[in-house]
Amino acid sequence: MIVVDTNLVAYSVLPGERTVAALAVRRRDPEWIAPALLWSELRNLLVQQVRLRGLAPEDAEAAYRQALELAGTLSVEPRFEAVVSTCIAASISAYDAEFVLAARELGLVLVTADRWLIEKFSDTAVSPEQFVAGEWIQEP
């Protein structure tokens, strides 16, 4: 089981340059978990794709349904106090803190394409390519 962020799910359901890497993550570990926040972020991302990139609304809806199949069965909610303290200590948004803390609280790795999060939380976050290559350490 791994924690995934919104971008990884989006890359999995919207064809693009990162799709192959995202699907390789899925093949390596098909059990994905995320904070419930992922769904609001994904809806917003899909609406932006419709508005700004010409994605057909029915294609956005199909991508959302596909995302639900990938990551819709499990969610985790980090504790509020932990989110606030992580935001303050690391100067990150509450959104980013939720993904990092979900991984930390469950003792899992966060797979993300967000290079800044990977650099800032190298003990928790890895890129899709690092994950697929096994370049991460998971505590037993």
pTM check: above 0.85 = yes
Token readout for 55 is 């994605």
In a domain, 113, yes or no: yes
Number of domains in the chain: 1
Look at residue 71 and give its three-state secondary structure: helix
Residue 56 CA: distances (Å) to CA of 50, 53, 78? 6, 9, 34
In a domain, 124, yes or no: yes
In a domain, 139, yes or no: no
Rounded Cα gap, residues 93 and 115, in angstroms: 15
Rounded Cα gap, residues 140 and 77, in angstroms: 22
Rounded Cα gap, residues 71 and 2, in angstroms: 10
- Selection from 113, 99, 81, 116 nearest residue 41 by Cα: 99
* Domain that includes residue 101, residue range: 2-133
pLDDT tens for the chain, residues 1 to 140: 999 999 999 999 999 999 999 999 999 999 999 999 999 999 999 999 999 999 999 999 999 999 999 887 777 889 999 999 999 999 999 999 999 999 999 999 999 999 999 999 999 999 999 999 988 765 54
Tell me: the pLDDT tens digits for 28-64?
999 999 999 999 999 999 999 999 999 999 999 999 9
Rounded to 5 degrees, what are φ and ψ at 96? -65, -40
In a domain, 140, yes or no: no
Single-letter residue type at 70:
L
In a domain, 104, yes or no: yes
In a domain, 100, yes or no: yes
Single-letter residue type at 32:
W
Strands 125-126 and 2-4: unpaired
Single-letter residue type at 111:
V
The CATH number assigned to the domain holding 93 equals: 3.40.50.1010
